[in-house]
């Protein structure tokens, strides 16, 4: 295992994500970031043109990864149902790992200067388009119900998944695997046609749920 020394730039990004998630972009000063990792302001501005550029970096790393993973999930399978399941799996997994990034992504993008936010918005749309494409193709093959407008279905799924960043706690009683399983079940039941339900049942929840423990946030 090559224990490579992390560059200052990487340390800045890592620390910033955590701090931004905790307290929000505007409540975290550059001074605090560099103090947190025992560096200096000079080092910061040597690596970043501005605080905004750092924010952009965080956004871009995350959304680029999401797109890459989504596309891979799409390419790996060849039916709408398996593709959808793979994407749900992939996305929740990413959301498990990158929760801090996501929080920053969905709450601080307003602070991005226009030059940056244009790029980010485009990529964010790409992410949605991949999912929407799966839904559309499923409707064409009659795997998915055509009574439901695919834009709304897409956004319903996106909302369900994205919102996890607001309430999921890695230290909480629920694992992301459980959540994924339930989400998948719900989505499939909601949109798969009767004729295609045969293929879908294998991805659904079996048996009784685990004991409900504790409670969680909004």
Partner DNA sequence: AAGTTAATACCGACTAGTCGGTTTGTTTTA
Partner DNA sequence: TAAAACAAACCGACTAGTCGGTATTAACTT
Residues that bind a copy of itself (CB under 8 A): 23-24, 26-27, 106-107, 110-111, 121, 124-125, 127-128, 146-153, 155-156, 158-164, 166-167, 174, 178-179, 182-183, 185-187, 189-191, 205-210, 212, 215-218
Return the one option of a copy of itself, DNA, none that residue 7 interacts with (CB less than 5 to 8 A, by type).
DNA
33 Cβ partners below 8 Å, 6+ apart?
12, 15, 16, 19, 44
Which residue's CB is nearer to a copy of itself, number 53 or number 107? 107
CB of 122 to DNA, least distance (A): 23
Task: Establish if 202 lies at the interface with DNA (CB under 7 A).
Answer: no
- Cβ atoms of 15 and 36 within 8 Å: the answer is yes
CB of 31 to DNA, least distance (A): 6
Q: What is the dihedral of CA 107, 113, 118, 119, to 10 degrees?
A: -80
What is the token pair recorded at 11?
């340390």
Task: Establish if 38 lies at the interface with DNA (CB under 7 A).
Answer: yes
What is the token pair recorded at 149?
């407008």
What is the token pair recorded at 35?
């103090």
Task: Establish if 2 lies at the interface with DNA (CB under 7 A).
Answer: no
Residue at token pair 């004729």: 195
Give the residues lining the site for DNA (CB under 7 A): 7-9, 26, 28-31, 34, 38-43, 45-47, 50-52
């Amino acid at each position: 295992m090559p224990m490579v020394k992390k560059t200052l730039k990487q340390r800045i990004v890592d620390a910033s994500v955590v701090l931004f998630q905790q307290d929000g972009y505007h409540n975290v000063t550059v001074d605090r970031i560099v103090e947190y990792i025992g560096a200096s302001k000079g080092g910061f501005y040597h690596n970043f043109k501005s605080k905004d550029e750092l924010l952009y970096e965080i956004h871009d790393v995350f959304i680029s990864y999401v797109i890459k993973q989504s596309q891979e999930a799409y390419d790996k399978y060849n039916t709408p149902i398996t593709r959808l399941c793979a994407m749900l799996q992939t996305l929740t997994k990413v959301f498990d790992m990158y929760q801090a990034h996501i929080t920053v992504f969905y709450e601080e993008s307003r602070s991005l200067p226009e030059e940056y936010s244009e790029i980010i918005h485009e990529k964010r749309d790409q992410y949605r388009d991949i999912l929407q494409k799966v839904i559309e193709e499923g409707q064409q093959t009659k795997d998915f119900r055509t009574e439901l407008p695919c834009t709304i279905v897409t956004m319903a799924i996106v909302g369900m998944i994205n919102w996890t960043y607001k309430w999921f706690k890695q230290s909480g009683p629920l694992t992301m695997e459980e959540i994924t399983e339930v989400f998948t079940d719900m989505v499939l039941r909601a949109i798969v046609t009767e004729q295609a339900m045969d293929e879908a049942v294998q991805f659904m929840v079996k048996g009784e749920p685990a004991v409900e423990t504790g409670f969680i946030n909004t």
